[in-house]
């Protein structure tokens, strides 16, 4: 992402939150939330209408400066940025904008565009009450910059949230880890940047999105906690190579996979190139089994793994994603290369395929039990 030269008049996302300002006197220029939601419902790239993404897929100076500030926070350690619901995130991105991530609440309760537009209007109101979306007048005062006359009656996401939304769209490599148990799916998404900083988006089964920024080195341990929440992983075992077509009948592997209590599927997807890198972690009552498919998909390497090896596998995926990000500097993300929806579809398809493999290995084809 070419965000190295921010406008000096743009905000510092690490500075005092505008929520701390005295808001006892309401500004008459603050827009009506219903109008804001209608504005945000228009499809578009970047962080949607509230964060001022340009129609051609580039970001304005303020948005880029906010992204740089959030990256700086991530170099120092893990920093929580924001918590949003499905509908709040949709209202910021635009109702018709393809999503890279799962939106479980919306998928279940708002399958049609009309319902989603109504939820977006309500969500914008909620974001304004929480001061995550602020008026242009308030933003200009807090950021100590001139008012933009053409946006005088508009709203914008506050600086840290704006930066996170830009980083979410500007990353060229996406890591996805989906943990499935009988109660539902818990997901971690990592938007990798070549500055050694990663944006994490944690998505719960009921559609809550938690954003944090962190060094890339923090990712493996966080994924390991997702994979093995109860700490059953022991020592590394011997690897066993099995033909993909024979997994369900292999006398050593099939019985162990049938004991899976939680399945975590990890996928590294490039927005620049086709294909995906995958690993499956099967947590049973007494071990964690890593399954890594060969490049041609003909074979799978199974191995009982320790915590250190789980983290090592994830670290390799992070490194691959960082190389992908660094090698694409001649592209102009996010407008070039593969589309957000195309890359995300690869990730969803890879995860579904991995879960199908686990189901074929389990004669009952039941969802894993909760630990």
Q: Is 7 a domain residue?
A: no
Percent of the chain surpassing pLDDT 90: 53
Q: List, for residues 147-158, the tens digit of each pLDDT value.
A: 766 666 678 899
Domain boundary among 167, 198, 222: 167
pLDDT given at position 150: 65
pLDDT given at position 349: 53
* Residues 236, 131 within the same domain: no
192 versus 147: the higher-pLDDT residue is: 192
Q: Is the pLDDT of residue 270 over 80?
A: yes
Q: Is the pLDDT of residue 43 over 60?
A: no
Q: Which domain holds residue 124?
A: 27-167
* Residues 183, 321 within the same domain: yes
pLDDT given at position 285: 96
Measured distance CA(63)–CA(104) in Å, rounded: 28
Q: Is the pLDDT of residue 185 over 60?
A: yes
pLDDT given at position 346: 52
* Residues 162, 305 within the same domain: no
Mean pLDDT of 243-263: 96
Least confident residue range of 21-35, 96-110, 257-271, 333-347: 21-35
* Residues 238, 333 within the same domain: yes
* Residues 130, 188 within the same domain: no
* Residues 134, 246 within the same domain: no
N- to C-terminal Cα distance for the chain?
Answer: 40
Contact 145, 227 (CB under 8 A): no
* Residues 71, 148 within the same domain: yes
Number of domains in the chain: 2
16 versus 267: the higher-pLDDT residue is: 267
140 versus 12: the higher-pLDDT residue is: 140
Q: Whole-prediction pTM value?
A: 0.77
Percent of the chain surpassing pLDDT 70: 70
* Residues 91, 238 within the same domain: no
* Residues 354, 210 within the same domain: yes
Q: Is the pLDDT of residue 214 over 80?
A: yes
pLDDT classification of 317: cutoffs 50, 70, 90: very high
Mean pLDDT of 21-34: 36
* Residues 146, 191 within the same domain: no
139 versus 121: the higher-pLDDT residue is: 121
Measured distance CA(95)–CA(63) in Å, rounded: 20
Least confident residue range of 135-139, 253-257, 309-313: 135-139
Range picked from 134-138, 179-183, 214-218 for highest mean pLDDT: 214-218
- For 298-324, letters b (16+ CB in 10 Å) and e give ebbebbbbbbebbbebbbebbebbbeb
Q: Is the pLDDT of residue 39 over 90?
A: no
Q: Is 34 a domain residue?
A: yes
Q: Is 231 a domain residue?
A: yes
* Residues 243, 273 within the same domain: yes
Average pLDDT, the chain: 78
- Sign of the dihedral defined by the CA atoms of residues 356, 293, 368, 342, in that order: negative
């Amino acid at each position: 992402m070419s965000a190295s030269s921010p406008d000096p008049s743009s905000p510092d996302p690490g500075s005092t939150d505008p929520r701390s300002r005295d808001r006892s006197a309401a500004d008459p220029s603050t827009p009506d939330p219903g109008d804001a939601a209608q504005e945000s419902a228009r499809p578009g790239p970047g962080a949607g209408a509230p964060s001022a993404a340009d129609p051609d897929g580039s970001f304005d100076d303020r948005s880029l400066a906010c992204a740089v500030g959030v990256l700086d926070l991530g170099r120092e350690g893990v920093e929580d940025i924001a918590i949003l619901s499905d509908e709040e995130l949709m209202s910021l991105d635009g109702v018709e904008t393809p999503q890279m991530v799962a939106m479980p609440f919306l998928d279940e309760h708002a399958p049609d565009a009309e319902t989603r537009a109504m939820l977006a209007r309500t969500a914008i109101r909620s974001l304004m009450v929480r001061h995550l979306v602020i008026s242009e007048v308030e933003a200009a005062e807090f950021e100590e910059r001139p008012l933009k006359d053409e946006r005088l009656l508009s709203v914008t996401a506050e600086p840290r949230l704006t930066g996170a939304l830009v980083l979410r769209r500007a990353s060229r490599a996406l890591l996805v880890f989906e943990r499935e148990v009988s109660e539902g799916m818990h997901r971690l998404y990592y938007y990798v940047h070549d500055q050694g900083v990663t944006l994490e988006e944690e998505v719960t089964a009921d559609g809550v999105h938690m954003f944090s920024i962190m060094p890339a080195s923090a990712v493996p341990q966080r994924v390991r906690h997702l994979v093995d929440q109860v700490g059953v992983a022991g020592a590394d075992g011997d690897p066993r190579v099995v033909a993909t077509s024979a997994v369900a009948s292999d006398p050593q592997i099939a019985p162990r996979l049938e004991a899976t209590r939680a399945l975590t599927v990890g996928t590294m997807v490039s927005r620049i190139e086709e294909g995906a890198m995958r690993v499956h972690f099967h947590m049973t009552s007494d071990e964690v089994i890593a399954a890594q498919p060969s490049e041609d998909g003909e074979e799978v390497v199974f191995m009982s793994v320790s915590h250190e090896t789980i983290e090592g596998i994830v670290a390799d995926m992070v490194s691959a994603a960082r190389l992908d990000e660094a090698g694409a500097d001649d592209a102009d993300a996010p407008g070039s290369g593969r589309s957000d929806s195309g890359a995300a579809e690869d990730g969803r398809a890879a995860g579904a395929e991995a879960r199908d493999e686990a189901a074929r290995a389990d004669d009952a084809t039941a969802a894993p039990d909760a630990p």
